[in-house]
Structures are given as C-alpha cells and as structure tokens.
C-alpha cells in the first residue's frame, strides 16, 4: 500500500544524499546517467529521473544540458548540513510562551548585535519610499481612512494580492482574500476556524516558535514531523500518523521553513496534498518567506497546486517589505465564512491607511524591483555569514543551506547548550535565537538560529566571531 512503502525515488535520492554526506560523491562529481543508475539500482528510468529531479529541485544536484547531473558545488562553504530531525512519535502540549516573550524582548533591543531577529533591517526595506507613499495617501485622502474598512479589507489591496497570486500560479478573485493583522493573525484565524482545544496539529520540526505559541494559546497539541534541512518533512511519517491518529490540520511553510530554510520539491508537495485530501485533513500553509527565493523562479505554494481545494493560505508583507505595517492576508476557501466571523471577533478589521499605501506601492511596480534587490543582498549575507561561521565556530558545527529566506540553522555536538551560550552572548551584547524555542518538546538545545537580515558590516561579522569563540569555550 502506498502509505507504508517508502517511495522508490525517495530511497534512491536518500542513497545519493548519504553518499554526498559521507564524501563518496564530492562536489562537482558527475553522477551516472539516468539509464546507468536505473540498471545499477534496479529501478525504472522514470523513477531514477524522478530522484535526480527531486535532488535538483532541492539544490543538491545541478543538471547540465547534454552532459548529465552533477553534485552541486557548495558556494556556501564546506560545513555539513544539520541532521534530519527525529522528534518523539507523539503529540505534545506546548508550553513555550515565557521563552518566546523573553526572546522577542531581547531581539527588539537595538543595543544588541541583531542576530536574533528574523525581520529585515529597515535600511534594507524600502522604508523611506513606503513612508512617502503612506504620507501622500494620508494627505491626499484626508480623514477618509480614519474609519473602519470592510472586514475583508481594502479592495485595492486585495486586488493587488490577487494579481500576485495569479503570477504564482493560483487564479483567484479579490473576494477570496481577507486582510489580517500580519501572518500571525492569519494563522490564528485558520487554526481557530478548523480545530479546537485538545486537537492535534502536525507541524515541521524545527518550526517557527510563533506558531507553537499560537498552538499553546489555543490549547492545541503539536505533533512534530521529522524534517530534512533541504527537502522538508518526511511524508511517510505523516502518512503513518494519519493512518493511526486523528489530526485536525497540518501547518507547513510553503517555502523556506523558519529556521531551516528547507522547501519541499513540487513533486513532494503534490504527494502531500493527495495524502491530506485522502484523509480529509486541511493544510494551512505559511508563505511569509515565499518572495525571498534564490532560484530563477518563485517555487509554487501548495495552494497553486490544489487550487485551494484543501488548503488555507496565510502570508504577509512582514519579511519582504513592511513588518511594522502589520498587514497580512488569508485565503481560506471553504472555511472563508468561519474565518470572517473570527476576524470580526478578533479585530473587526485591519487598519486602512497602511493597506491603501501598500496597494499603491504594489501597483507602482516598485515592489518587484525592491524584491530583486533584497533577494540578492540576503543571499550574499547568508554566504558571508556561513563563511564567518566556518572561520570561528567549532569545526564540527553543521549549518543549513537555505534556498530562500534569511536565517541559518546551526547544529553543534549533542552536549552543547545553546541556552548557556544565549546567556553569555547577552552579557557580551549579542542576541540570537536558541534552538529549543523551535520545538514543542523543547528539543534542539544543541542548535541555534542566526538571522542574516541586517546589512552586512563589521559589527555583525565581529558578533559572529565572538559568538563562535564563546561556543568553542563552552564546548571545551
């Protein structure tokens, strides 16, 4: 049965990843032809090709026309990738709010070296330009926007969002979009509309701590799924879970999980959608990092692959343009009416003026120019940060290689305590995110997340060097 048999192409791709990890296949090595490997491994040609394509999608292999597939050379240093997580096979109640509040307080302290805050620096964002549009809108329309808007949000902004969704492969109308106060409210609305206290929600592991905090407040349990640092969740574990336990929803990043930066290949996304549909479990997708991709095209969100049939889409402008405007959106499909009722109860509507200013900015075309610029800068920041980590952290540190977003996930030896590092780093004026806040079962104490969202300068570089030195001292 499909649900219990590991997929053959997956077995083959795992074999290749293992051979790269243990050094048998060095960067730049040419792989056997599709025909040769299909004969060697006794799989069909289409299975072999599927495995190669999967690895190409996740950046492990590159294909060269007329020549074949090669192991990608690591532009981002030589440190190994973090291991695939192995969380406990049970749902956990979440108790994380104290740790999250403390982290957020330190992360917003501008006196600290900002490696803890996963929001781009205002100088990288088009802050001045956007402020200008906001001021002009306020001047032009006077008091018109000091009023409640429709609960769904300003029509002009919903139209711009619908246009962008069309470009990402999902056709919808402005009526399908509801404006929220950031992605946080979108996720809270989605979860509260389709699940209740005590329900189990399947999530990535590690996952964004804000999602865990929301689950805690809503009294829901988290089932953490094993997650690969490049390819995302292990579908076979989810499949076994769905066969044996009731699950109310699955919440996943559309692309570039925070903190791993992993993104599922399109073929895996389709398999996952099929699996969830068969079990009648809705998918809530979080696409806040989707516009910050380093490949030539934007990877598709889940909603573009199932037409929204079983998917609730959540996103915001917080990671790419305007974190302080607190504007996000949700496309809830079949659950739209319930989500609207909850929106009325939570906040009635979102502030109008920022919505109208964002709509103007999007309509002017400035957002796309801006995105092209910050993608390049953030990709460079990640490469610089990886090299700085390589130069100063313990030699056996493992580092993620994100294909989008702007955070790095570091894994140190098991005995390493990132909480002790956190306390010492704060004393030295450096902030980062310790690993355990990314897990409901408080795993990953030997891991940490560093943000590369600020303009690269001597202060950041020196902060990483000092953090690396501290990590070496703590390990010794």
Ligand X SMILES: Cc1ncc(COP(=O)(O)O)c(C=O)c1O
Shortest reach from residue 343's CB to ligand X, in Å: 14
Query: Does 409 participate in binding ligand X (rule CB under 6 A)?
Result: no
Q: Judged by CB, which is closer to ligand X: 182, or 333?
A: 182
Shortest reach from residue 327's CB to ligand X, in Å: 8
Q: Judged by CB, which is closer to ligand X: 172, or 288?
A: 288
Give the Cα separation of 453 and 128 in Å (integer).
Answer: 18
Query: Does 182 participate in binding ligand X (rule CB under 6 A)?
Result: yes
Report the residue from 87, 210, 402, 468 that binds ligand X according to the rule CB under 6 A.
210
Report the residue from 52, 208, 416, 444 that binds ligand X according to the rule CB under 6 A.
208
Query: Does 288 participate in binding ligand X (rule CB under 6 A)?
Result: yes
Closest to 408 measured CA to CA, from 475, 368, 367, 468:
468
The strands making up 447-451's β-sheet, listed across from edge to edge, are 398-399, 407-411, 447-451, 433-434
Token digits of residue 282: 């809705």
Helix (H) / strand (E) containing 181: none
Which of the residues 118 through 137 are near ligand X (CB under 6 A)?
118
Provide the residue count of the chain: 476
Give the Cα separation of 453 and 124 in Å (integer).
Answer: 8
Q: Judged by CB, which is closer to ligand X: 76, or 326?
A: 326
Q: Judged by CB, which is closer to ligand X: 316, or 352?
A: 316
Query: Does 310 participate in binding ligand X (rule CB under 6 A)?
Result: no
**Range in contact with ligand X (rule: CB under 6 A) among 59-67, 182-190, 195-203, 448-456:** 182-190
Q: What share of the chain is helix, strand, coil (3-state, %, to 5)?
A: 45, 15, 40
Shortest reach from residue 256's CB to ligand X, in Å: 9
Closest to 441 measured CA to CA, from 95, 83, 196, 82:
95
Query: Does 404 participate in binding ligand X (rule CB under 6 A)?
Result: no
Report the residue from 37, 51, 183, 195 that binds ligand X according to the rule CB under 6 A.
183
Residue 75: CB atoms within 10 Å: 12
- Exposed e or buried b per residue across 23-50, where buried means at least 16 C-beta atoms within 10 angstroms of its C-beta: eebeeeeebeebeebbeebebeeebbbb
Shortest reach from residue 228's CB to ligand X, in Å: 17
**Range in contact with ligand X (rule: CB under 6 A) among 178-186, 189-197, 339-347, 462-470:** 178-186
Identify the three-state secondary structure at position 314.
strand
Residue 100: CB atoms within 10 Å: 16
How many Å is the maximal CA-CA distance in the chain? 72
**Range in contact with ligand X (rule: CB under 6 A) among 155-163, 315-323, 333-341, 382-390:** 315-323
Identify the three-state secondary structure at position 356.
helix
Q: Judged by CB, which is closer to ligand X: 316, or 392?
A: 316
Place of tokens 């917080």: 318
Q: Judged by CB, which is closer to ligand X: 89, or 122?
A: 122
Report the residue from 85, 184, 403, 439 that binds ligand X according to the rule CB under 6 A.
184
Shortest reach from residue 391's CB to ligand X, in Å: 28
Shortest reach from residue 406's CB to ligand X, in Å: 10
Query: Does 439 participate in binding ligand X (rule CB under 6 A)?
Result: no
Beta strands in 320-469 (DSSP E): 328-331, 398-399, 407-411, 430-431, 433-434, 447-451
Q: Where does 58-96 have alpha helices with state H?
A: none
Shortest reach from residue 318's CB to ligand X, in Å: 3
Q: Which residue's Cβ lies closest to ligand X?
A: 182
Which of the residues 83 through 122 are near ligand X (CB under 6 A)?
118
Closest to 203 measured CA to CA, from 277, 135, 260:
260
Give the Cα separation of 453 and 121 in Å (integer).
Answer: 6
Report the residue from 58, 126, 258, 386 that binds ligand X according to the rule CB under 6 A.
258
Handedness of CA 381, 386, 390, 395 (dihedral sign): positive
- Residues that bind ligand X (rule: CB under 6 A) add up to a total of 14
Query: Does 328 participate in binding ligand X (rule CB under 6 A)?
Result: yes
Give the Cα separation of 346 and 128 in Å (integer).
Answer: 31
Q: Judged by CB, which is closer to ligand X: 190, or 288?
A: 288
Q: Where does 58-179 have alpha helices with state H?
A: 97-107, 127-141, 155-167
**Range in contact with ligand X (rule: CB under 6 A) among 6-14, 72-80, 181-189, 356-364:** 181-189
Q: Judged by CB, which is closer to ligand X: 79, or 160?
A: 160
Report the residue from 239, 318, 320, 418 that binds ligand X according to the rule CB under 6 A.
318
Q: Judged by CB, which is closer to ligand X: 125, or 183?
A: 183
> Which residues make up the interface to ligand X (CB under 6 A)?
118, 182-184, 208, 210, 253, 258, 286, 288, 316, 318, 323, 328
């Amino acid at each position: 049965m499909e649900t219990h048999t590991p997929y053959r192409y997956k077995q083959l791709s795992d074999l290749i990843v293992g051979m790269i990890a243990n050094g048998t296949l060095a960067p730049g090595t040419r792989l056997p032809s599709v025909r040769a490997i299909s004969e060697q491994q006794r799989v069909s040609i289409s299975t072999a090709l599927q495995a190669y394509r999967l690895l190409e999608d996740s950046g492990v292999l590159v294909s060269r026309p007329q020549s074949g597939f090669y192991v990608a050379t690591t532009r981002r240093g030589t440190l190994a990738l973090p291991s695939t997580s192995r969380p406990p096979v049970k749902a956990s109640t979440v108790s994380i709010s104290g740790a999250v509040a403390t982290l957020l307080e330190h992360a917003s302290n501008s006196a600290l070296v900002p490696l803890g805050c996963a929001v781009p620096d205002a100088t990288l964002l088009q802050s001045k330009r956007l402020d200008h549009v906001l001021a002009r809108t306020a001047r032009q329309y006077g008091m018109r926007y000091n009023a409640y808007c429709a609960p769904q949000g300003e029509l002009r902004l919903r139209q711009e969002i619908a246009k962008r969704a069309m470009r990402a492969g999902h056709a919808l109308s402005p009526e399908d979009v509801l404006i929220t106060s950031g992605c946080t409210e979108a996720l809270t609305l989605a979860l509260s509309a389709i699940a209740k206290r005590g329900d189990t929600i399947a999530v990535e592991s590690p996952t964004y701590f804000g999602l865990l905090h929301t689950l805690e407040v809503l009294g829901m349990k988290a089932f953490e799924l094993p997650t690969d640092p490049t390819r995302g969740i292990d579908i076979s574990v989810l499949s076994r879970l769905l066969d044996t336990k009731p699950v109310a929803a699955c919440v996943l990043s559309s692309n570039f999980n925070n903190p791993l930066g992993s993104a599922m290949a399109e073929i895996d996304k389709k398999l996952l959608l099929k699996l969830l549909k068969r079990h009648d479990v809705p998918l809530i997708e979080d696409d806040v990092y989707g516009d910050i991709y380093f490949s030539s095209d934007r990877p598709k969100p889940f909603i573009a692959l199932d037409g929204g049939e079983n998917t609730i889409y959540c996103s915001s402008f917080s990671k790419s343009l305007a974190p302080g405007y607190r504007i996000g959106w949700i496309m809830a499909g079949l659950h739209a009416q319930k989500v609207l009722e909850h929106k009325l109860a939570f906040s009635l509507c979102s502030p109008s003026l920022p919505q109208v200013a964002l709509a103007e900015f999007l309509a002017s075309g400035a957002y796309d120019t801006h995105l092209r610029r910050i993608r390049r800068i953030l990709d460079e920041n990640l490469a610089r940060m990886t090299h700085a980590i390589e130069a100063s952290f313990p030699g056996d540190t493992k580092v993620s290689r994100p294909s989008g977003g702007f955070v790095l996930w570091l894994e140190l030896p098991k005995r390493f305590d990132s909480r002790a590092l956190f306390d010492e780093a704060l004393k030295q004026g450096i902030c980062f995110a310790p690993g355990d806040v990314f897990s409901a079962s408080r795993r990953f104490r030997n891991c940490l997340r560093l943000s590369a969202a600020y303009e690269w300068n001597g202060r950041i570089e020196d902060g990483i060097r000092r953090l690396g030195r501290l990590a070496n001292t703590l390990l010794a």
